[in-house]
Structure 1
Amino acid sequence: MSLISRTTRGVYTIVPTPFHPGGALDLDSLRRLVDFYEEAGVDGLTLLGQMGEAPKLTQAEALEIVATVVARTALPVVVGVSAPGFGSMRALTCEVMSLGAAGVMVGPPHTLRTDDQIVGYYTEVGEQLGTDVPIAAQDYPLTFSVVMSVPVLTRIAREVPSVVMLKHEDWPGLEKISALRMVEAAGEMPRLSILCGNGGLFLDFEMQRGADGAMTGYCFPELLVDVVRLAADGRTDEAHDLFDAHLPLIRYEQQPGTGLAVRKYIMMRRGLLRADTQRSPGRSLSPAERAEVDLLLLRLGRLDARAVSP
């Protein structure tokens, strides 16, 4: 399995963790999901992120998920290894890389406040995990409460060679993408692969600003693949038209605290998950919410046949 690098492009979809109604791992649904993602044309998979309910898993379960996915696909797999301490982060990293992961994703702890603290943290992450482990730095201030400015990211790119990718989830963040590419073009920092998150909410414009693709989830990953490829081919009007058709559902799925329930419900409707269960603490959609999602799917089906229930 190839490792992620500074030139990685495409769609690395976030894989939700399937559970049986009682809360046990559903590995059959996980394998079905992996097969579906391959058929959808994604370029890689990301496991154990926030939408993968990683904090609710035991270490043994996390490794079982990675082992199951890596055994099922030849696609590159990035694994979230964020942890309060470097010991547990290093142990998980060693395990997943030995299983065949293509790299790891690390978000900053919420205690970081200054630019020097942020750069120092990623410097130590690189030292602790080893220079041979490629790292995706997760820039998600809305969740982590850590602001990673363009100068900070420039320093990290220069000073931490193993940080090869930025998972860009700042919001608003379009100007940040443009600024990073300008600094890179001026020769002031090495290139970073930029894959964007936030459920794809701004993906059409992010691609125009210089992003390399997406590292996010959506209940129709085919849409993410299409938008990235159309944009890469310069077919921007087609990319916008297709994106606009999905935008009401993307917006609904982006609701804090509700998005994963929406995603799992639709993936269950699509026959990918046996159940839309979230491990406790979690939630299911109310009857009113399900009716709203069903209406959005009905309307989307008039523009994209992939949204029509089988």
Structure 2
Amino acid sequence: MWARKVLTETHPKKTSKEERVHFRMKLQVRRSIFNPSKSRPLTHRGRRTPLPTAAAPEVRIWLLKGPLPLLLLCSSLQSPTVAVKIDFDLAPVSFDDQYQGCSQQVLEELILEDYFTKELAAHEYHKVWQRALLAWLNQAKAPPKDMAIAHAVAILVYSSNNSVRSDFIRAMASAARSSQQYKNSFHFKYLHYYLTTAIQLLRKEMVRRNDSLCYEVHHKVEGVYLSASTGATIRFGQFLSTSLLREEAQKFGKQTLFTILTCLGAPVQDISLKKEVLVPPYELFEVVNTSYHPRGNWLQLRSTGNLSTYNCQLLKAIKKI
């Protein structure tokens, strides 16, 4: 039975059977009627209001031109920059393959052509992968049901704040500009596949156990003040590491805090040992509430379905389908 439970901080809130049924029906309707051609962008790109501590000109320009997936990398900045009104839209050129109906075929191709070795060499992230593998082996436990060790290691690689994740986000942000861009320039095919299927397998197990399928989570972007229009539909266009603990996300001021009701993400704390949920790049959200304050902005988002431009793209790129 599909159910909804919103997790606030560390304590789950109970919902009645009628509320869960109503939410399920509402979500199904939203997914069936969503029309991306009629979506509303959050704001127009390029408006800004300088903060008391302004960014250097080159940083400010980069912020204004960057799509949302790249803007979220600003969480590594150590000081406030500018208040930015950015066009979140639907991240149309972000790679969003869900591998529906072709997961096993894609896996076989990844193994046959040894994409793992190619990508380790191309991006020199073998040390990061090795550290993540050792961290997983030190936990001395089997992966969750139906998952391979590679799924667990991929989650550990991404959930760590490292250069691999930053490079991966940048690559995803433009991989869907064209099929050739994906084929020739997107060198994270292996990591993307294992992160995507890890979320899907975890959610499959959640359904089997009759677990909660929706979670209230939090994600902060430090040093950037983002604003949005209530009622807009967006997607992040990247895998988003989010926290189940609001107080953890609010440790530092001068930030934008997202409070997100995700119904397609999966909790990964059994792997990462952190109370976090990994949100997929294809999940759609509606902006339902906003609040602006000198110490930080707050945006509340609610899951409203999913949207993918690509499916089984690896097989299409090599002409196997």
Q: TM-score with structure 1 length normalisation?
A: 0.22
The structure with the largest helix share of the pair is: 1
The structure with the largest strand share of the pair is: 2
Q: TM-score with structure 2 length normalisation?
A: 0.21
Structure number with the bigger relative contact order (C-alpha 8 A, sep ≥ 6) is 2
